[in-house]
Chains A and B, each alone.
Chain A
Amino acid sequence: MRLLAALSGGVDSAVAAALAVEAGHDVTAVHLALSAAPATLRTGSRGCCSKEDARDASRVADLLGIPFYVWDLADRFRADVVDDFVAEYAAGRTPNPCLRCNEKIKFAAVLDRALALGFDAVVTGHHARLAGGELRRSVDEAKDQSYVLAVLTPEQLAGTVLPLGGLTKAEVRTAAAARGFGVADKPDSHDICFIADGDTAGFLRDRLGPQPGPVVDALTGAVVGGHEGAYAYTVGQRRGLALTVPAADGRPRYVLSVEPVSRTVTVGPGEALDTTSVRATAALWLAPRALPLACEVQLRAHGAVHACVASKDGSGGWRLELATAARGVAPGQAAVLYEGDRVLASATIA
């Protein structure tokens, strides 16, 4: 096959490209420039698309002897991922930008262009197994990324090759070292790539400006503090709450909900975050099943898996009844249904 390998400059995509080359495919590499003003050097595990990352990616392509190009997708990334991220927070939801990037950039803009340029598929270094249209968890459960790929349509997955699903992260690093890749021991990236200092609240404050409002206790209805912008709070968050009135029971309080119009952040005890009933909309099926259905659900990246029964909610979405309570279910995140390690479907938590 003619394959287009997306090289981020990290170890996973490097090994994915190498395995594709070694499997005999005709591979061309691209590095996606997602930032209009890339930093020169990367700082630890933070940030992305620095010039250093671009160089690391090009060195891997050199070693593999394959052509290497940089595609400038900074405008698309800003519109589809960064602006969407800010708008979702402003609306009181908690977006997952990696998932959005997969959905709109890597497996949309890049895949479309690759297919149009005559490639058969795109190769990435995601940790998940993909064969015969079935998307399954990586053998390395701790590194599994099937959750952030579950938003892809069957057509998108048909144009995707994921060579790493059968390898653990440690095996990937060994494979990289064996091939002489300088990135073999490069730290994994964490956090949100476009917020290089990790300060999400500060990033949002710069873009949305101060929007002060009250922090209200769910039990008493009393105003127990204030904030500079409800967008800086996520359901389940405990840190960063400047409460002026201590809780009557003296126990820690958590964000229970964020209401953007009245700018109200409601707080309460941890148990109030527990829920066994979740609603989700905009369902997308990879492996269609009839509802109601007994299966498992994951409600955030690297989150716990709950046994559940999924049924229709009467308005085109799902109602999920969980066997065990989930804490801090955040609207805007994806609910992904699994059957064992196989992805069945995804939807957005309402």
Chain B
Amino acid sequence: MAYLDHAASTPMLAEAVATVTAALAAALSAAGNASSLHSAGRQARRVVEESREQLAAALGARPSEIVFTGSGTESDNLAVKGIWWARHDADPRRTRVLASAVEHHAVLDAVEWLAGHEGATVEWLEVDEQGRLHPDVLREAIERSPDDVALVTVMWANNEVGTVQPVRRLADIAHEFGIPFHTDAVQAVGQLPVDVGASGVDALTLAGHKFGGPLGVGALVLGRDVACVPLLHGGGQERDVRSGTLDTPAVAGLALAAALAVERQPALHARLSGLRDDLVRRVQQAVPDAVLNGAPGRDRLPGNAHFSFPGCEGDSLLLLLDARGVEVSTGSACSAGVARPSHVLLAMGAAEVAARSSLRFSLGHSSTGADVDALLDALPGVVERARRAALPTLRR
């Protein structure tokens, strides 16, 4: 098996598995609700608070800024809806959301929901053909009517094509007008240097399973003075912003994985970009008309390679590679598993046919040269076969 789908989920780090397992084992003898006042509760609370400090330190944030959640999706929803509600409550003129056109569905659909149910107006900020949002585009959108902007949300790095956004500059522009800035950094943590303080963002989303932590746990780093209305009401945990008894083992695993991933990030970046450049070169040799999508060099996630294979359908390629033991993704799938042409590629100006002919190869901490070899072993034959299988709509 060659696993080239780390952007979907990357294997847990052994240390994180050990931490989660130990925390679970502790639950055999003591039922630990971190909100309880007795000693079992204190023990659980201690794990949670140490995890909060560990995660904050890894990300250049303050412990009080960490809000643990159940997923990256939840963090995105909390930031987008919660900050919009708070800003709109404070001044009803603030209805506008400015978001890049290439956001993950966790942001995209949350924003659309605000538009459909809460009277928000949405502006999808256009990106260039490499998927990059230019600071001038944001400035112009704000300047058209600065007083009605509720928030700006632009992802740190794109999950499909790997393009890295100029987050610092974008956040600075929003701040010139006193507008809060959220970023979805789910793909960035562990692959790029992420320092919340230095980046200037007001809210940042991360998810454990993308950097070696457990599934089903995430966090929102939320600035102390950023007002945010909760999605979940209840016992008032997590600064009153996210009620619900915390999953202590998962939180501990998340924090440890983040600390290790951040510590190892520079070495991983160097190793993965070398491996990825090798992959890109060899794919282009094997399939000369393959088109690399996204940005070059340092403006790209080190583990990401994303290609269109003209004349092929992405899901044929995926099926054929899967049959050869090579696991990849078309990069965008809905819950029924139907591959839709990616809104990211369409926003970058790709034609629908090209958008349907794409595959994402994503590398992570456990990737090796053998994975790339396995891909290249299978790819030429697979592409040729997929071309023949293209439906008439693509053949035309």
Contacts and interface: CB of A to CB of B under 8 A. Distances in A.
Interface stretch (B67-75, B225-233, B333-341): B333-341
Contact of A116 (B323, B339, B388): B388
Contacts of B335: 51
A257 to B, nearest CB: 37
B86 interface: no
Interface size band for B: 10 to 19
A118 B336 contact: no
B319 interface: yes
B391 A76 contact: yes
Given A38-B336, A117-B320, A71 B315 contact: yes
Contacts of B315: 69, 71-72
A109 B388 CA distance: 13
Interface string A263-292: 000000000000000000000000000000
Range of interface residues on chain A?
A: 20 to 34
A54 B337 contact: yes
A33 interface: yes
A182 interface: no
B336 A113 contact: no
A51 B336 CA distance: 6
A317 to B, nearest CB: 29
A53 to B, nearest CB: 9
Contacts of B339: 70, 72
* Interface of B: prevailing SS: helix
B319 A67 contact: yes
Contacts of A31: 337
B391 A118 contact: no
B227 to A, nearest CB: 34
A188 to B, nearest CB: 22
Interface in A152-195: none
B337 A117 contact: no
B385 A118 contact: yes
Given A72-B315, A116-B388, 15 more contacts: A28-B323, A51-B336, A69-B315, A69-B318, A69-B337, A72-B338, A72-B339, A75-B393, A112-B389, A112-B391, A113-B316, A117-B316, A117-B385, A117-B389, A118-B320
5 contacts: A67-B319, A69-B337, A72-B315, A112-B389, A117-B389
9 A-B pairs closest in CB distance? A116-B389, A70-B337, A72-B338, A116-B388, A54-B336, A117-B389, A33-B338, A51-B336, A113-B389
